[in-house]
Structure 1
Amino acid sequence: MNSPARVIGFVNAAHFIDHYSMLIFAAAVIIMGPALGMAYSELLPYATPGFVAFGAGSLLTGWLGDRWSRRHMLVIFFVGIGASMIAVGLADTPLGLGGALLSIGLFASIYHPVGTAMIVSYADKLGREMGLNGVWGNLGVASSALVTGVIGQYLGWRWAFILPGVVTILIGIAFMRTVVHEDRSGVRQAAAQARVAKADMWRVILALLIVVVAISTTFNAVTVALPKLFAERLGGLTRSPALLGLIAAGVYVFGALTQYTIGKLLDRHSLKAVSLPLSFVLAPFLYMAAELSNLPLIVAAIGIVMGAFGQVTVNDAMVGKYTSEEWRSRAYAVRYFVGFTAAGASVGLVAWLYQHGGFVTMLHAFSGLCLLVIAAALILPSEIKVKAARVG
């Protein structure tokens, strides 16, 4: 029998690695461009196939998690994504670089439908564990900017991929040795933890679809663009890649704190009561950030990550509450397929908007998109809580 604390610990580590690995390139591209003789707008699109695979692959990985083994899928995740990071560090042509980044995206697609479903299955308090899991993912985002900046400055961009790849494989070996496959056949499955009136279910689906598309697109665009935005706009404070990474990491810490807070609130209040006030955060901060620089920009960026990361926790909790155990990985697969497919498109959109109007145009565009989040929160129906059965 697996220890819930041990399983959740490894799943949290996987969430950290998942976001860390997907964003190394976003931070490293600043120093990769001069080394490879390519401009930022030319190099960034090579990440697009990987981000598309990040979402598209979740349909298959979620199905395999439900029908085969979530534990086995997570072993493949650790080893595969670690080897892929090493492959990026060894790439010596743009085509090889794009192929290795695509491989990272394919293996990264395993985590969210499989790992998030495992969190729901083993969690005692869903909101708290979702919040903590979100913190680990957020720390992966923050650490990616910080560690990549430091390693890139002192060891070169290749080692910024190779070193975390080696560490990830070692974690995968530890997971494989300490967590066993759990056969769920013949076991009473955990029911949904909340429900709404049947006539109102369409409102839940519509709200989730709107928020997932808007937040996933904005979330990915901001995390990809933030290192470059800081490099351009914080010249009055510093031009050191390592210090810029440290500032970005500090900004993401506020997002992590928000996720933990939102998770705790979701254990006490309904989804609508939490999501409605949160929905008013993103649009104004994105709009203001378009014209800001130096310290005011850092403050606006804090507001942006708090709004974006808080909404991610709400979205994950919504799927976890309204689905039963036997369908949970597939439900998360659909949620992340929609979200990460939209997010993958955002990489090319960031490059296009930056080329045609800089960060002013980009941030204004995403500010307008986030007005839809408010509409989605307004149409959410009231929920009826039910007591969930634990997986035996």
Structure 2
Amino acid sequence: MNRNDRSIVALVMLAHGMVHTYELSIPIFVSIWLTEFDVVNLGLTQLEVTAATLGLVVTAGYGLFGLGALPGGVLVDRIGSRRLISVCLFGMAGSFVLLGLSPNLLVVTLALLCWGAAASVYHPAGLALISKGVDERGTGFAYHGIAGNVGIGLGPLLTAVLLMFLDWTTVAMLLALPALGAAAYALRARFDETAAVDAGSGGSSKADAGVDSFAEFVSESKRLVAGGFVVVFLVVMSSGLYYRGVLTFLPDLLSEIDQFAAVPLATLLPAGVSDLLGVEAGSGRTLQPERYFYSGLLMVGVLGQYAGGKLTDRVPLEWGLVGAFSGLAVLAVLFLPVVNAGLVPLLAFGAVLGFSLFVIQPFYQATVAEYTPAGTRGLSYGFTYLGVFGVGALGGALAGAILTYATPAVLFTTLAGIAVAGALFGLYLARKRESPSAAEVASD
């Protein structure tokens, strides 16, 4: 890599890691908020804080994370990636500072909305920056994905470790510091955002193309729909709903089983270390095993991402989707029986679940490229993030409502149904692959 490539890749790695650090630390806080807050004061009335209430709160933030991807993609063409990434990082840092200052759930909601809006612009900005500015584009995308996976795994782990010694508000504010550091680097970084375009095509590449008006946005969107992208959108939407439905309340669900009973921290530390850290018997500081299970599950996802990427070159994409969704459906059905089978089966199950949650992502990402015309590829990925992160965010609200008014068994049955629907959409694509219309789209 040349100096320009290294500067860009360093920035996008920092930013991508930060986005997913915050995204997947939120479910750990959810289990705390369920006990921290009793009611939501709306002035004229008060609402009891339940899993359903928090499901809506988290869905609002996660929903903006997806909904902002489309306008974020348009903004990239107007103000440039570096500026937008800087705004993203400062916005996420400020959101977690606000979260740490939250006196009630209304302010928590506002903080999550601010985070979702700030984080939503990253993916179109970061991916556009790599595609236009990095000569060794494939290597850039690889490092970018690795950094995201590091954030996915280590972010929740860092949050869990800090929560052993500090209250959640302090932890939220401390988590803002890495994003502030990354934002400072973004302001100081100097690179050519279009170096790869200029070098490879004299500035006339498709990478320079963008949606220049609302009418063009509508016409290009219609082109996607006419080309059969609707079914692909249903695939990514199913993946997003399952992903959020499983992860949003997973730490809280696990905290209620005997295998993950809280352990007083004072009993785990030598006396000298306990005194140094101010952890005394009866202080209430505990180690929460379910948080580490959750973090470990997400770390295994790194292997799933890698395996999924390799398999997309060896397995027909449509049948890969069918297999991945079918596996997720089986895992949803098995979750509660495995929980009751003991700790060792549960640990093994968690590893398989983490692997399966992420192995599907390279398949649907490659499917988007396969079933969309090259000229609308950027817009198609904007809709992809809308489906995965925007519509998919409803999985959190769905999970919260089911856990409040029904049972975990109903939740995992529902998630199995969502996975079955995803498998059927994949099967439909497999059956239609050789049709004239599909061949036309694939070759466009």
Greater shift in the superposed pair: 320-329 or 169-178: 320-329
Aligned to 1:211: 235
Aligned to 1:236: 259
Q: d(CA) in 1 for partners of 2:373 and 2:79?
A: 17
Greater shift in the superposed pair: 58-67 or 2-11: 2-11
Matched, 1:256 2:298: no
Q: d(CA) in 1 for partners of 2:375 and 2:3?
A: 19
Matched, 1:33 2:30: no
Which amino acid letter does the alignment assign opposite residue 313 of structure 1?
Answer: P
Report if aligned partners of 1:74, 1:111 keep a CA contact under 8 Å in 2.
Answer: yes
Aligned to 1:19: 20
Q: How far off its partner does 1:347 sit?
A: 1.7
Which amino acid letter does the alignment assign opposite residue 282 of structure 1?
Answer: L
Report if aligned partners of 1:66, 1:329 keep a CA contact under 8 Å in 2.
Answer: no
Aligned to 1:49: 60
Which amino acid letter does the alignment assign opposite residue 24 of structure 1?
Answer: S
Of 174, 182, 190, the residue aligned with 1:171 is: 182
Change (3 A) 1:211 1:129: farther
Report if aligned partners of 1:130, 1:313 keep a CA contact under 8 Å in 2.
Answer: no
Give deviations 1:91-113, integer Å, cap 9, x for gaps: 11222221111100101111222
Q: How far off its partner does 1:320 sit?
A: 5.2
Q: d(CA) in 2 for partners of 1:90 and 1:333?
A: 33
Report if aligned partners of 2:4, 2:192 keep a CA contact under 8 Å in 1.
Answer: no
Larger Rg: 2
Aligned to 1:226: 250
CA RMSD of aligned residues (A): 3.1
Q: Secondary structure at the residue paired with 2:259?
A: coil
Q: d(CA) in 2 for partners of 1:74 and 1:50?
A: 18
Of 360, 367, 375, the residue aligned with 2:416 is: 367
Q: How far off its partner does 1:324 sit?
A: 8.1
Change (3 A) 1:36 1:272: closer
Q: How far off its partner does 1:270 sit?
A: 5.2
Change (3 A) 1:174 1:321: farther
Greater shift in the superposed pair: 180-189 or 242-251: 180-189
Aligned to 2:284: none
Q: d(CA) in 1 for partners of 2:383 and 2:248?
A: 23
TM-score (norm. length: structure 2): 0.75
Q: How far off its partner does 1:179 sit?
A: 4.0
Report if aligned partners of 1:217, 1:346 keep a CA contact under 8 Å in 2.
Answer: yes
Q: How far off its partner does 1:328 sit?
A: 4.8
Q: d(CA) in 2 for partners of 1:179 and 1:263?
A: 32
Change (3 A) 1:206 1:174: same
Change (3 A) 1:44 1:304: same
Q: d(CA) in 2 for partners of 1:324 and 1:180?
A: 31
**Identical counterparts, % of pairs:** 22
Q: d(CA) in 1 for partners of 2:422 and 2:142?
A: 20
Q: d(CA) in 2 for partners of 1:354 and 1:100?
A: 24
Which amino acid letter does the alignment assign opposite residue 290 of structure 2?
Answer: L
Q: How far off its partner does 1:188 sit?
A: 2.7
Aligned to 2:355: 306
Report if aligned partners of 2:76, 2:84 keep a CA contact under 8 Å in 1.
Answer: yes
Q: Secondary structure at the residue paired with 1:144?
A: helix
Q: How far off its partner does 1:221 sit?
A: 1.7
Report if aligned partners of 2:228, 2:371 keep a CA contact under 8 Å in 1.
Answer: no
Change (3 A) 1:156 1:304: same
Map 1:61-210 onto structure 2 (within 5 A). 61-121=72-132, 122=134, 124=136, 126=138, 133-180=144-191, 182-183=193-194, 187-190=203-206, 205-210=229-234
Unaligned segments of structure 2, at least 5 residues: 40-48, 208-222, 264-286, 440-444
Which amino acid letter does the alignment assign opposite residue 55 of structure 1?
Answer: G
Q: d(CA) in 1 for partners of 2:358 and 2:228?
A: 20
Q: d(CA) in 2 for partners of 1:59 and 1:210?
A: 17
TM-score (norm. length: structure 1): 0.84
Change (3 A) 1:336 1:366: same
Aligned to 2:267: none
Give deviations 1:221-267, integer Å, cap 9, x for gaps: 2221221122123x224424443222222212221111012223435
Aligned residues between the structures: 375
Aligned to 1:334: 383
Report if aligned partners of 2:67, 2:120 keep a CA contact under 8 Å in 1.
Answer: yes
Report if aligned partners of 1:131, 1:260 keep a CA contact under 8 Å in 2.
Answer: no
Q: d(CA) in 1 for partners of 2:367 and 2:130?
A: 14
Q: How far off its partner does 1:351 sit?
A: 0.8
Higher RCO (CA < 8 A, seq sep 6+): 1
Aligned to 1:246: 292
Q: d(CA) in 1 for partners of 2:302 and 2:244?
A: 16
Q: How far off its partner does 1:82 sit?
A: 1.0
Greater shift in the superposed pair: 283-292 or 237-246: 237-246
Matched, 1:10 2:26: no
Matched, 1:292 2:316: no
Greater shift in the superposed pair: 291-300 or 343-352: 291-300
